[in-house]
Structure 1
Amino acid sequence: MKWMQRARVGSTLTLALMVLFLTGCPKRPEVVETVPRAIAPQGEVGMPAPPPAPKGATSGEKSPTEVAAQSPEAKPTPEVGAVPEAKIAEAEARPEIAAEVKALGLALKDIYFDFDQATIREDSKKLLSENIEWLRKNPTVKVTIEGHSDERGSSEYNLALGDRRSRATRDYLIAAGVEANRISSISFGKERPFVLGHDDSAWQWNRRAHFAVSAK
């Protein structure tokens, strides 16, 4: 009888200890993995982060402003304050007048001289007749007759020779009826060769009187 009581008491104690053990042990906390939030980069402490790059641009691409600044073909337009080149040229030299004078000069023919001579040759008289006729049809045009020589001789001698050639040509035109106040003369000697070279194939073209339209 006592043995059974002891066994019952022992069972009760064992059950009580088990209950205490189960209820007394703390639960293992659940581990929750979290990812730290990304922090926007900052240039300096206390300074705001730079604005994000525009959509569609990559690290290797350049902005339209950079491309426009580096492109040699890019030219300013009137909408952004550019001054057209024609306006600049017009303000400086009136290009329409310059082009007209150049075209007029092409209508007048040069004449050529023999070596060390300032006499008008027979073949040059026909060209001068055409120049005289053109000047009569264009009475407002003024010309300058330039005297030239080849490279042989000193600069001083060739300046004098060029002067004789330009004066002889001017006198011929005046004798044919062209007003003297429309014609002036100058000498360049050998300083402005028409053809470069060191033989008669070049020299014959440099012994000349050249007609340059100076005004209209």
Structure 2
Amino acid sequence: MDANLRLVIGNKNYSSWSLRPWLLLKHFAIEFVEQSVNLASADAQLQMQTLSPSGQVPVLWVDDMPVWDSLAICEWLNECCLDGKAWPERARLKALGRSMSAEIHAGFQLTRRLLPMNCRARITLPDMPTALANEIIRIEQLWQEALDISGGPWLLGSFSIADCMYAPIVLRLQTYELEVDEHLVPYCQQLRQHDAIRSWLADAYQEVDVIESVEQLYSER
């Protein structure tokens, strides 16, 4: 596609939503300009209102046309830049991938609230609420179902939007030192070793800005 792409993202240490389309762009070597908003700054909200129709990140600018929301950006890239390669051709896998991506996009509220993305941190949870444990179990079930049907090595066989949507979960599991079923360990390790994920984490580790609400969540327990 003959267009200039600019992806506006938040801090790499914290912004799980930003990681998703960024990873898709990087995996498929789509050229784009990266623009960051420091979510810890006092004027972050003002910046985002200026840069994004929704007032949130990420947003992809295609020349002067905005595409916002992580899943919408991934779908747009799939249709307009990748000729559909970000979803498998097999109908059952495509349906599963879209369903599980929508589920992580709209659900798992406790995981978001109690396990916010914080790449630099290593935290041992003081306790695991049953409802949160059930969300993690559900994620494991989705991963296992996808891998069983596709045969791996990625969730839907080849790398897809589904892997991008669940990448922040893999990083959260590392942050909060949560173990997964032994059959899912190779998948998590593979994603953490992805060149783009390694690059994202390297940048995240170098960031110095702090979002206090995230850092203080477990600091006083």
Q: Do the structures match in fold with TM over 0.5? A: no
State TM-score, norm by structure 1. 0.29
More contact order relative to length (CA 8 Å, sep ≥ 6) = 2
Question: Which one has the bigger helix percentage?
Answer: 2
Structure whose CA Rg is larger: 1
